[in-house]
Amino acid sequence: MRSPSLNIMISTKPRFESFEEYLAYDDGTEKLYELFNGELIEVPPESGENVAIAIFLLLKLATIVGHARVRPHGLELEVRGEPRNRYPDLTVIGEEHVEQLRRRNTLRFDMAPPLLVVEIVSPGELQRDRDYIAKRMQYQDRGIPEYWIVDPQLQTVLVLELSGDVYTEISTLQGEDQMRSPQLEELNLTVSQLFTAGQ
């Protein structure tokens, strides 16, 4: 008896030699990818707690700079090192960026850096190292004036400000401490209000 022929489809992952090649790629989905050593790594969805905190903060910041200048997770930031791009949980952009990002929500090297990036730490050692170490170095290299690390596990907000070309830890805020931002002086929010939003 003859065995039936099998149609075997071999799918190969695309590889990219440059960031421009990656930008031209479209897989027809809304998935977010980090470009790591020329290959696509799908970005997993955020936890419900992190999303709630990010939305609450987005609404607060939008009252200060306007909704068009506060971008949620999905704004893509070109960075040096690996991966070649990051998707901050929240980004405050400059006025000039609004028009530049109209066609694609990607901040390239030839564009000014955003004013502020916020990362909300997910549970796990790998995620903590990523936000506290790897992203800190990449955002510092990118010249982003201010970086917040919001840590739901520790209930703290670490505020980093670029001094020269190195981040300086301005403050570690907790409890009823007022959120302070060199970029957003009108901010009126306590750390406890921020974390209550995630519950």
Domains of the chain, CATH where assigned? 47-196 (3.90.1570.10)
DSSP H or E stretch at residue 36: strand 33-36
Q: Identify the pLDDT of residue 12.
A: 65
Q: Identify the pLDDT of residue 91.
A: 98
Q: Identify the pLDDT of residue 137.
A: 97
pLDDT-flagged residues of the chain (< 50): 1, 3
Q: What confidence tens digit (pLDDT) does each residue in 44-95 have?
A: 888 899 999 999 999 999 999 999 999 999 999 999 999 999 999 999 999 9
Q: 3-state class of 197 per DSSP?
A: coil
Check: CB of residue 170 under 8 Å from CB of residue 180: yes
Q: How many other CB atoms are found less than 10 A from the CB of residue 179?
A: 20
Q: Identify the pLDDT of residue 148.
A: 97
Q: Identify the pLDDT of residue 194.
A: 95
Q: Identify the pLDDT of residue 8.
A: 52
Q: Which two tokens stand for residue 7?
A: 């149609």
Q: Identify the pLDDT of residue 1.
A: 47
Q: Identify the pLDDT of residue 158.
A: 97
